[in-house]
Structure 1
Amino acid sequence: MPLALGRGRKANPEGRMALREHLREFRNRIIKCAIAIVVGAVAGFFLYNPLFSQLIQPIMNVAERDGRLASINFDGVASSFDLMVQTSLFLGLLVSSPVWLYQMWAFITPGLKDKERRIALAFMAVSVPLFIGGVYMAWLVLPNAVQALLGFTPEGGSNVITAQLYLTFVMRLLLAFGIAFLLPVVLFGLNLVGVLKGRQILKSWRVTVLLVCVLGAMAAPGPDIMSMFYLIVPLLFFFFLATGLCLLNDKRRERRSAKREAETEAAADTATSADDLENL
């Protein structure tokens, strides 16, 4: 079992602890995560009204621009309160993400070897800003995406959108962009464990560029062509950066494999001395 951080690895180099202590540490870290999420949710509760005004502004813009009915509908007595609670919890998860990510890291890392800890820490350090950057990019994309989707409404039609469905759409958009920005980290991680080769990723670059360009054209945060490039360039940069790192890692792995084979062949060609035979 992983060793608690306070114990130190010198006193217990194998990083072992009793099951009861392991469960107690897990419970304490869960409690810390829950407290951080609750504090973040309380902050989200106070931010709910200005945030909700920003979320529904694209719908209000459609109503003003096209002169038709477009509004958010609360279809129950308690639905507005439920929406406030869900939005506050979602904001709490985002705001407290550094805390609960650290608690996960602190719980796992004592049981890892030095090299594994360095790799895991590097992945954590890269994943958090990439995910937050993807969420921020989705926030910029949201107004244009809403206006584009509502633009398919036939003439004479109206858009009375259920608040719960709209919130679900916004959350999925934010998470989708956050996960999309994590894709390079996932690709490099699969390459590190030997599941995916850099050449395999490089072969799909044409399809990747096409999909990213289509996404940028549909979800660009502005009507001008520069807004599309603001979205396309980061995604393509991260993709090709991950591809380059995977290719370098493949070369390094091939060199180490060739070196081990050469050492094995050299050892096999060396004759066994008479003393070694006598000892055997």
Structure 2
Amino acid sequence: MAGKTPPKEEIDDSSAPLIEHLAELRTRIIWSLVAFIIAMVLCYTVWNPIYNFLTQPICAALEDRGQECGLILLKLQEGFFVAIRISLLGGFALSFPIIGYQMWRFVAPGLYRNEKQAFLPFLVASPVMFFVGAAFAFYIILPMAYDFFLAFQQGPLLLPDDPAAGATQPATPMAAIVFQGSVEEYLSLTTKFIMAFGLSFQLPVLLTLMGKAGLVSAEGLAGVRRYAVLAILVLAAIATPPDVISQVVLFTVVYGLYEISIQLVRRIEKKREAELRAQGLWVEDEQ
């Protein structure tokens, strides 16, 4: 026996907003994917100049030692996968503003005006701080790190098949240690440095946003400073290669950002307190 159709007024309309949200999310994801694919294809067409740019730190370190800048392909398909990796990374970096805008268009309708005004600066600051961290790693940290790594070479710093190698033989025979870097290995190491510092520079943005939302306080962040130091040490050990210089620099930078975050959260708290006092809504905490 067929069941009765419920009256129209009894049908649950709560599914309609959900379907609309899912449709909106689908639209934003499609736009983001289209932007990423277009940017990736563009980067693939110019992957050689991007690769040449990324090899500047190692080339400068090698030239300072009188060595030619050259990386090798250890596998037949390695060059292709290097081009793909460069295209993926470059495509994401190039399309990130559009992806961030699509995320904002999806989230913004559910926010109040004051919430939009509070959240929008952080949406702008996040990519800016990432690129600042990436630039810091590329122009300051990488030259220092590669200079440190290349210092472990010894003997004639020329490859055996180089015509000039025979003229530079030392008086005392020794086993030469000469850098012959893989393209994929170098790109992986460089990317790791850039991502580690780019993400580390998100710390002030994240903690300040949490302070704005009332999730953390300056007093609370200062109270867990010792645990933060331990966490930063672990991060420095995991995110960087096992050389002391890179780990110390990353620890120093991230810890400095943590202290800056405390001051930014404290400034937000003072501003919030001043506004509440002006409205007569401030209540002193009981000691």
What's the TM-score, normalizing by structure 2?
Answer: 0.66
Give the equivalent residue in structure 2 for 1:274. none
Q: In structure 1, how many angstroms separate the alpha carbons of the residues matched to 2:221 and 2:105? A: 32
Which of 183, 202, 214 in structure 2 is aligned with 1:163? 183
User: Out of 227, 238, 259, which is 2:281 matched to?
Assistant: 259
The reply on whether 1:147 has 2:173 as its aligned counterpart is: no
Shift of 1:54: 2.9
Give per-residue Cα distances to partners, 1:33-65, cap 9 Å, x unaligned. 111111211221233112212333443444444
Counterpart residue number, 2:167: none
Shift, 1:218, TM fit: 4.3
Is the contact made by 2:130 and 2:199 (CA closer than 8 Å) also made in structure 1?
yes
Deviation at 1:132, TM superposition (A): 1.9
Q: Amino acid of the residue matched to residue 129 of structure 2?
A: L
Partner in structure 2 of residue 13 of structure 1: none
Distance 2:102 2:220 in 1: 35
* Inter-partner Cα distance in structure 2 for 1:191 and 1:107: 24
Given that 1:56 and 1:72 are in contact with CA atoms closer than 8 Å, whether structure 2 keeps it comes out as: no
Aligned residues of 2:74 and 2:182 also touching (Cα < 8 A): yes
Shift of 1:107: 0.6
Task: Provide the C-alpha distance between the structure 1 equivalents of 2:22 and 2:215, rounded to a whole number of angstroms.
Answer: 33
Matches within 5 A, 1:235-246: 236=256, 241-246=260-265
> 1:250 maps to which residue?
269
For residue 202 of structure 2, what is the amino acid of its counterpart? L
Equivalent residues of 2:50, 2:86 under 8 A apart: no
Give the SS at the match of 1:160. coil
**1:180 aligns to 2:179 (yes or no):** no
5 Å-filtered alignment, 1:41-60, equals 41-60=40-59
Q: Which amino acid aligns with 1:179?
A: L
Aligned pairs, how many? Answer: 230
Q: Secondary structure of 1:159's partner?
A: coil
Q: 1:40–1:96: 8 Å Cα contact kept in structure 2?
A: yes
CA deviation vs aligned residue, 1:121-174 (integer Å, no higher than 9, x gap):
121022122222222222212333222222234552122222222212111211
Distance 1:260 1:68, change over 3 A: closer
Please name the residue that 1:117 is paired with: 116
**What SS is found at the alignment partner of 1:96?**
helix
Is the CA contact (8 Å cut-off) linking 1:192 and 1:249 kept in structure 2? yes
- Provide the identity percentage: 28
For 2:177, what is the secondary structure of its paired residue?
A: coil
Greater shift in the superposed pair: 168-177 or 248-257: 248-257
AA aligned opposite 2:214: G
Q: State the Cα distance separating 1:68 from its structure 2 match.
A: 6.5
For residues 186 and 233 of structure 1, what CA distance do their matches in structure 2 show?
Answer: 16
Going from structure 1 to structure 2, the CA distance change for 1:58 and 1:260 (only over 3 Å counts) comes to closer
Instruction: Assess if the C-alpha contact under 8 Å between 1:131 and 1:182 holds in 2.
Output: yes
- Worse overlay, 195-204 or 71-80: 195-204
Whole-Å separation in 2 of the counterparts to 1:64 and 1:111 = 55
Q: Measure how far apart 1:177 and its partner are.
A: 1.9
For 1:137 and 1:63, the matched residues in 2 are separated by 20
Alpha-carbon distance in 2 for matches of 1:172, 1:50: 20
1:83 and 2:85 aligned = no
Any unmatched runs of 5+ in structure 2?
A: 1-14, 156-175, 234-239
**How far, CA to CA, are the matches of 1:187 and 1:60 in structure 2?**
38
The TM-score, its normalising length taken from structure 1, stands at 0.67
Q: After the TM superposition, which residues 160-239 of structure 1 pair with which residues of structure 2 at under 5 Å, given as runs?
A: 160-202=180-222, 204=225, 218=245, 236=256
Q: Name the SS of the counterpart of 2:54 in structure 1.
A: helix
- Residue in structure 2 matched with residue 4 of structure 1 by the alignment: none
Give how far 1:74 is off. 1.5
RMSD, aligned CA: 3.7
Does the 8 Å contact 2:61/2:143 carry over to 1?
Answer: no
**Unaligned ranges ≥5, structure 1:** 1-15, 220-227, 263-280
Partner SS, residue 259 of structure 1? coil
